[in-house]
Each structure stands twice: as structure tokens, then as C-alpha cells.
A and B are shown apart, each in its own frame.
Chain A
Amino acid sequence: DVKVTQSSRYLVKRTGEKVFLECVQDMDHENMFWYRQDPGLGLRLIYFSYDVKMKEKGDIPEGYSVSREKKERFSLILESASTNQTSMYLCASSLGGGLETGELFFGEGSRLTVL
């Protein structure tokens, strides 16, 4: 069964803390994405990566960075967490290589609360 796994389902952090959200996929997908989901809004793209060590800003990259050192792993980093980063974070992957319809495969989400 193909899978996207996010390391933490629930996190509570304090303002100013550094936060790491980890995501691993076992489908050998080229593309990986980080989204956040807030009530009343569609999923919003934070960052994506189309290859190892490659990263591109999405629609709301401010306050975030990412790392992709290995094909299967994509990490989201909050350098200094703030209360407005309290949200549900979803990692996703897609096939890539021009052979796809854009279908995304998601992890179960990480709910982050920043106090």
C-alpha cells in the first residue's frame, strides 16, 4: 500500500520555537509539496520540490523553509514559530516526470498549535 507518512500528528509549540515537520513517501515520486489548511479556506501551497535539493516557493512561503536531501523525504521548517502558523499541515507527493495528471497523494496531516 503506497504511503505518505508525516512524522507528527499533533504538536504544541511555543512562540519563537523552531519546528520541524517531516514527511516521507515510499512511491518514488519526483514531486513533493507542503500545504496548510485553515477553516474556510482551500489548501494553500507553502513550498514544493520537484527533485532532490530543489525547492520552489508556493503561494504562502513567508515564515517557512524546506529541505529535500533525499528523494523520499521533504521537511518543512518553521524557524521561529508564531501563533498565526497554528494550522493543519499536509504533505503530498505526485508522480512527476511529465507522466501525470497532477493527482496528489497525501499524508494524514500534522496539526500544529503555537501558543
Chain B
Amino acid sequence: ILNVEQSPQSLHVQEGDSTNFTCSFPSSNFYALHWYRWETAKSPEALFVMTLNGDEKKKGRISATLNTKEGYSYLYIKGSQPEDSATYLCAFHTGGFKTIFGAGTRLFVKA
């Protein structure tokens, strides 16, 4: 059974704190790893699509790394802001139509 684990389940930080989350996924049948941000009352939106071992992607204050050999990805947020409050979903794509989602990390950033 393919499983994607995310930790922590939830996180409360102060504005300005930097934080990171972990996504663990199977190290076989890898095609792509996706990070999505899901804000309350909105639709989940793709942050990063990562396909190569060693990939590092950055979008503003948010960055992500990928290690396909050991099956993990980290998402970093530098200087968290209240608008970063959201659920961050990790999704492991095996190619074809199969995407396996983690349960998400819920981030709360307090002003």
C-alpha cells in the first residue's frame, strides 16, 4: 500500500517565525511530488511540482526540496505571515491517474 505521511499535523507559529514541514513518500514508482496550499473557503492551489531528485524550488518566501532516493520532501516558509495560514498538502504522483495525498499540515500564523 502506497502511503504519504506529513508532519506535523498542525503548527502554530508567530508572525516572523520560519517553519518547515515534512512529507514522506514511497521511494519507488516515483513520477512527481506536488505541494498544494489550501486556504479556508478556497480551492487547493499548486505551489510546486517537483520531478527530479535534488530539486529545489522557490516561490517568494516559500521553498521546497526533494529527495526521491530516501523518499522525503521539505517545505520551508521563511518569515511566516498571517496570510500563510493554510493547510499544506503533499501529493505523490505515480504517473497515469494515480495521486496519493498526505493528510496535510495545518499552519496557523498569529499576528
Residues of A within 8 A of B (CB): 4, 31, 33, 35, 40-45, 48, 50, 56, 90, 101-109
Contact = CB atoms under 8 A, between A and B. Distances in A.
A102 B34 contact: yes
Contacts of B4: 42
B13 interface: no
Given A50-B97, A101-B32, A106 B44 contact: yes
A108 B42 contact: yes
Interface residues of B, number: 26
In the A-B complex, list the 3 residue pairs whose CB atoms are closest, starting with the nearest.
A42-B101, A102-B93, A43-B101
Contacts of A104: 34, 36, 44, 46, 91, 99
Contacts of B31: 101-102
A41 B103 contact: yes
Contact of A42 (B32, B42, B100): B100
B99 A102 contact: yes
Contacts of A105: 46
B103 A40 contact: yes
B90 to A, nearest CB: 9
A106 B91 CA distance: 13
Contacts of B101: 35, 42-44
A105 B46 CA distance: 8
A90 B34 contact: no
A4 B43 contact: yes
Contacts of A35: 101
A109 B51 CA distance: 27
B88 to A, nearest CB: 12
A50 B96 CA distance: 10
Contacts of A101: 31-32, 34, 49, 51, 93
A51 to B, nearest CB: 12
